[in-house]
Structure 1
Amino acid sequence: MRRAETLCTIAPMASPHWPLFGLRLRTPRLVLRLPALEDLTALADLAAEGVHDPETQPFAVPWTDAPPAERARGLLQFHWSCWADWRPSAWTLNLVADLDGTIVGTQGLMGTDFPVLREVSTGSWVGRRYQGRGIGTEMRAAVLGLAFEGLGAEYAVSAAFADNEASFAVSRKLGYREDGIERRVVRGRPMVVRRVRLDRAAWQARRTVPVTIEGLAPCLPLFGLDG
Structure 2
Amino acid sequence: MTLPHLTWPRAAGGLTLTLPTPELVDEVLRWRNDPAVTRWLIRTTVDPTAFRTAWLASVDDPRDHAVVAVLDGRAVATGSLEVHDGMAQTEPGSPGDGCEGLLGYLVDPAYAGRGIATAVAASLLDLAFRDLGLLRVTAGCFADNVASWAVMEKLGMRREQQGVRDSWHVEHGWIDGFTYAILADEWLGRGKPLASGGSQARPSTS
TM-score (norm 2): 0.76
1:77 offset after TM fit, Å?
Answer: 3.4
State the partner residue of 2:26: 41
Name structure 1 gaps, 5 residues minimum.
Answer: 1-13, 213-227
Map residues 1-227 of structure 1 onto 2, 5 A cutoff: 23-48=8-33, 50=34, 52=36, 57-63=39-45, 70=47, 72-80=48-56, 82=58, 86=61, 88=62, 91-113=63-85, 116-117=95-96, 118-182=99-163, 183-187=166-170, 189-206=173-190, 207-211=192-196
1:140 offset after TM fit, Å?
Answer: 0.3
Number of residue pairs aligned between Structure 1 and Structure 2: 184
Query: Higher helix share goes to which structure?
Result: 1
Change (3 A) 1:198 1:92: same
RMSD: 2.9
Name structure 2 gaps, 5 residues minimum.
Answer: 87-93, 198-206
> Which residue identity lines up with residue 195 of structure 1 in the other structure?
T
TM-score (norm 1): 0.70
Change (3 A) 1:135 1:164: same
1:79 offset after TM fit, Å?
Answer: 1.4
Secondary structure (helix, strand or coil) at the match of 1:193 reads strand
State the percentage of identical aligned residues: 25
State the partner residue of 1:220: none
1:52 offset after TM fit, Å?
Answer: 1.4
> Which residue identity lines up with residue 200 of structure 1 in the other structure?
A
Change (3 A) 1:210 1:93: closer
1:24 offset after TM fit, Å?
Answer: 2.5
Deviations 1:117-138 (A, max 9, x none): 3211111100000000000000
